[in-house]
């Protein structure tokens, strides 16, 4: 099993295998190694920010192994093929994208253990 750090405004994620997970102190625990690997690999090699609308709303992307995520109380169901979701309000999107100190604005998740 693996643990991942999530953006501060993510209150839950639903994974294909591991089901619904809520972070404690910014960390989601107990997801499969496959889910963690795919999530981290995908964000490194695929764009997370898809589009930015004129009003500032963002279309974002996550690995399709995540079937639902909640950002500041808003539930998003990513497309099962592309992983795209939105529109996400500008402030929420910036927090979501700005989690990583390694790859700012491109890597919202990081491995804690696994």
What does the pLDDT average to over 50-71? 90
Between the alpha carbon of residue 16 and those of residues 20, 38, 56, 100, the distances in Å are 9, 12, 30, 24
CA distances from 39 to 58, 61, 70 (A): 20, 11, 16
Mean residue pLDDT of the chain comes to 87
- Residue 61: alpha-carbon gap to chain centroid: 8
What is the mean predicted confidence (pLDDT) over 95-103? Answer: 62
Give yes or no for residue 100 having a pLDDT over 60.
Answer: no
Q: What are the residue boundaries of the structural domains of the chain, listed by start?
A: 2-113
Q: Give CA angle at 88 (87, 92), nearest 5°.
A: 175
Mean per-residue pLDDT for 16-20? 97
Q: What pLDDT shows up at residue 56?
A: 86
């Amino acid at each position: 099993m693996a643990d991942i750090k999530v953006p501060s405004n993510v209150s839950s994620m639903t994974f294909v295998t591991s089901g619904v997970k809520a972070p404690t102190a910014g960390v989601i625990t107990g997801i499969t190694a496959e889910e963690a690997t795919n999530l981290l690999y995908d964000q490194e090699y695929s764009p997370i920010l898809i589009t930015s609308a004129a009003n500032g709303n963002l279309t974002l992307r996550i690995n399709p192994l995540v079937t639902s995520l909640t950002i500041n109380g808003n539930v998003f169901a990513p497309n099962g093929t592309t992983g795209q979701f939105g529109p996400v309000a500008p402030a929420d999107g910036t927090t979501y994208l700005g989690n990583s100190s390694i790859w700012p604005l491109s890597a919202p998740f990081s491995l804690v253990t696994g």
